[in-house]
Structure 1
Amino acid sequence: MIWIMIVGLFVLIAFGVPIAFSMGAAALMYVLVEGIPLSIVAQRFFSNTQSFAFLAVPFFILAGSLMVHAGIAQRIIQLAHSLVRWLPGGLGCVSVVTNMVLAGVSGSSVADAASVGSVLIPEMKKKGYSSSFAASINASASVVGIIIPPSSTMIIIAWLANLSVAKMFIAGAIPGILISLAYLVTTIVISVKRGYPREQRPTFKEVAQGVMQAFWAIIMPIFMIGAIIFGIATATEVAALSAVYAFIIGFFVYRSLDGKKLMAALKETVVGTTVVMMIVCSSSIFTYILISEGIPAMISSALLGLGIPDYLMILILVLILFVAGMIMDLVPNLFIFIPIFFPIATGIGMDPIHFAIVMLCALALGLFTPPVGTTLFLSCHLAKIKVENTYKDLIPYFVIGALVVILIAYIPGLVMWLPDVLMK
């Protein structure tokens, strides 16, 4: 029955049933056939959300939404424009840098793709960039939104794997920046080959104005991470403070946030939190059944018993995560693979924080790969182009991103150096 449940999950997904309902329906089928009391299902459905750490999820979503509605994205775009527009493929470089900076504000790859893409994709098309290239850059560059802190996805990983949220946040900074820099170089190389335009070099005054306009947004992640490092507040408390900070900046400093935009931000927060929690609840039941049947332990023991060298085992795990990220949403993948892969990773000597970041980065690439790439579909909609027409331009970004993830997997210092230094 356990294998019928797993196959049923993928059959439902293939028929277009949303992930949360697919996992819930597959698990419910198993429960009914095996005669498991429904009271246990109800208890498991809600109990996993009764966590202080999960309170950070709606607060971070609210903070990011407030920042977007307050016009922070436009200010960061202007700053990035003044810094890198003179490079080959100037507007493409602006897209990459903007997504990197905005990741430290919004904490959401989808929000970044929407806010940056809606401004830059039409502008890139006007300047002669192909729709495919514009969509590909936006879709791929925005994935760092869940890698560079803050990130609600990191909170879920930390809760599932019993890790420190603070260490997860700090550990994600360097890998996220490395991926962004790799995409920046990729954009420059492609732009040189295709002859895409570069803009006029900025003056010092333009750069200074860009920094001043985006100043309050730039210091927000510094304020959050600093509060965690110095023990001023927990990650959940920082999430609440960041929402208050975003409201104050948008309403009183920039004065771009009004009642209508505030209500829109609150609505997005409710919808976003509901979607995340629905997936978490359904995934909890599915994972509970897998664990109770001993599937993760069985798979872990089988793989470790093969005697595969550690370096090859790391590569196998990463490749599996790449494929999983392509065919299923990120959060369900976390619930399925954390119980299976963490014992394997720790069994071959990987630090749990290190492997958590590797897993996050590997699965994040699935956000811009078909068939379920969220940022890809959003970017293609903004560029008014079919998804299949972007594949040629997406391949370089996926390959480069995959190489960076593999590099991070084999060099622990790229992940662990910063938390080791800041959280001794």
Structure 2
Amino acid sequence: MVVAVFFVLLFAAVPIALVLALSAAFYIATSGNSVLFESYAQQLFGSIENYGLLAIPLFMLAGELMNEGGLTRRLINMARILVGGFRGGMAYINLVANMMMAAIMGSAASQIAIMSRAMVPEMEKEGYSRPYAAAITAAGGLLSPIIPPSMLFVLFGVLAQVPIADMFIAGIIPGLILSGLFFLMITLLGLVQQYPPGRWLSFAEARQALLFGLPALGIPVLIIGGILTGTVTPTESAALASLGALVVGRFVYKELRFSQLPEVLKRTALNSGMVIVLISAAGVFGWVLVYEHIPQNAAAWIVQQTSDPFVFLLMVVLALLLVGMVLDGIAALILVVPILLPVAQADFGISPYQFGVVVCLTLVMGLLTPPVGAGLFISSAMTGESPMRVFRALLPFLLMTLLTLVLLSWKAELVLLLLP
């Protein structure tokens, strides 16, 4: 009955936070267990009583301030210095700029929205098709969950009780691998499609782009450098990034006005509020799953199927690809980690860092796959292009993401190499 209620609410387009909270409440009401009933409110609030979750609204605020303050545009101009002269230069610029933004925003959906507005019109002006421009921009959003900082890594660290800073470090090499495969795919596609020729900036233009871009580049350097050196915690780095984006946007570039701050804070509050409510509701639902011994039963079934850690991780990837198609990544993460992480650690000896990177990257692919595909529809809405045309252009990059997942599942060293 609980499963039936869950799917009826889900396919009735009820917000996922309510689906989780109401399904848990229905179970408690029908179980007749007064202890569960009395603990419902405590579990609802207990799920969000964690200092690490403060990083989520702060990283969202940093991204909003950077976009309003003109920092995003300066980072794109800096990317032109590095790759702008290659044939298909705008495609490479798009990807490099997405790498820079991934080191700031931590949210794939927000990154896709912001970069679609900034990059797709520019690529169209230079002769790229709109579906392809939208697809490259959306693919760049896949870098957000693994290049630090990452909102999903923050949440996974909270759920798995591992240091969030170490999760960020674990994502560096996987992020570079995925970026390298994306560059390779752009090159291969360019051989077939004959991209427009690029243009190297003159020395004067490059010097100006570099000088104007350095203050903006200081934000990701501040975030990643502070975390890697242990100077600040991830939450403190998010606060510093927000402050830095405010100072640079207002006093250096002079594009951010104080009159814009109420609207920026409102958007940040609404977006982060939705995430926190979802975490709270999913925490209650996960509590019910544990009470019903779902994780233990799942563990017993999986162990019967295989004893190979690599095969287990491939099974997880395939299962989560299906889950990510119908559930929001954050909700799915909260549901699957309490079930699968104990199995991965106890029965297969898999590091929580390797498991976390694989799970987070797999789930974020759901942002770009039908039928839900929030990131796909964001890209479509921002560019005015059909979601299915964007999806077809996106398929080569999704295949590169799957290849990355296979590599990360096969070789744990690709995740663990930089960890202390």
- CA distance in 1 between counterparts of 2:388 and 2:355 reads 32
* 1:12 match: 9
Identify the residue that residue 318 of structure 1 maps to in structure 2.
Answer: 317
Amino acid at match of 1:353: Y
Match of 2:105 in 1: 106
- C-alpha distance in 2 between matches for 1:35 and 1:359: 35
**Structure 1 match to 2:206:** 207
Q: What does residue 53 of structure 1 align with?
A: 52
Distance in 1, Cα, partners of 2:218 & 2:82:
18
Structure 1 pair 114–307 and aligned structure 2 pair: CA distance change class (3 A): closer
Contact 1:67 1:106 in 2 (8 A): no
Residue identity opposite 1:60 in structure 2? F
Shift of 1:152: 2.2
Which position in structure 1 is the counterpart of 2:124? 125
In the TM superposition, what are the counterparts of 1:172-183 in structure 2 within 5 Å? 172-183=171-182
Distance 1:321 1:60 in 2: 26
> Structure 1 residue 121: deviation in Å?
1.0
| 1:398 alignment partner in structure 2 | 398
Deviations 1:376-404 (A, max 9, x none): 11111122122122332121111111111
The answer to whether residue 364 in structure 2 is matched with residue 364 in structure 1 is: yes
Q: Partner letter of residue 13 of structure 1?
A: L
TM-score in terms of structure 1 length: 0.93
Between the aligned residues of both structures, percent identity stands at: 32
Partners of 2:371 and 2:305 lie apart in 1 by 32
- Who is 2:300 aligned against? 301
Q: Which amino acid aligns with 1:325?
A: G
- Partners of 1:90 and 1:397 lie apart in 2 by 17
Q: Determine the structure 2 residue equivalent to 1:382.
A: 382
Which amino acid in structure 1 is aligned with residue 404 of structure 2? V
- Mapped to 2, the partners of 1:396 and 1:231 lie a distance apart of 38
What is the CA–CA distance in structure 1 between the aligned matches of 2:368 and 2:313, rounded to whole Å?
A: 23
Q: Which residue type is aligned with residue 370 of structure 1?
A: P
Asked if 2 retains the 8 angstrom alpha-carbon contact of 1:105 and 1:217, the reply is: no
What corresponds to 1:26 in structure 2? 23
Is structure 2 residue 412 aligned with structure 1 residue 419?
no
Q: Could you tell me how far 1:118 is from its partner in structure 2?
A: 0.8
- Asked if 2 retains the 8 angstrom alpha-carbon contact of 1:100 and 1:177, the reply is no
Question: Take 2:328 and 2:236, find their aligned partners in 1: how far apart are those partners?
Answer: 28
TM-superposed CA distance for 1:123, in Å, is 2.3
CA contact (8 A) 2:100 2:220 kept: no
The residue that corresponds to 2:157 in the other structure is: 158
Deviation at 1:350, TM superposition (A): 1.4
| 1:93 maps to amino acid | Y
Relative distance call for 1:210 and 1:405 in structure 2 (3 A) is farther
Assess if the C-alpha contact under 8 Å between 1:79 and 1:214 holds in 2.
Answer: yes
Q: Could you report, residue by residue, the CA deviation over 1:280-336 in whole angstroms, capped at 9, with x for unpaired residues?
A: 011011101000111011101221133443322221112212222222110111111
Residue in structure 2 matched with residue 240 of structure 1 by the alignment: 239
* Distance in 1 of aligned mates of 2:89 and 2:105: 24
Deviation at 1:242, TM superposition (A): 2.1
CA distance in 1, matches of 2:384, 2:228: 44
TM-score norm. by structure 2 comes to: 0.94
Find the aligned partners of 1:273 and 1:155 in 2 and give their Cα distance. 13
Letter of the 1:81 partner, please give it.
R
SS at match of 2:299: helix
**RMSD between aligned alpha carbons?**
1.8
Higher alpha-carbon deviation: 158-167 or 97-106 = 97-106
| Residue 331 of structure 1 pairs with residue 330 of structure 2 | yes
The secondary structure found in structure 2 opposite 1:257 is coil
Q: Distance in 1 between matches of 2:366 and 2:210?
A: 33
Name stretches of at least 5 consecutive residues in structure 1 with no aligned partner: none
- Looking at structure 1, the residues matched to 205 and 338 of structure 2 have their Cα atoms a distance apart, in angstroms, of 50
264 and 174 in structure 1: CA distance in 2 versus 1, 3 angstrom threshold? farther
**Which residue of structure 2 aligns with residue 64 of structure 1?**
63
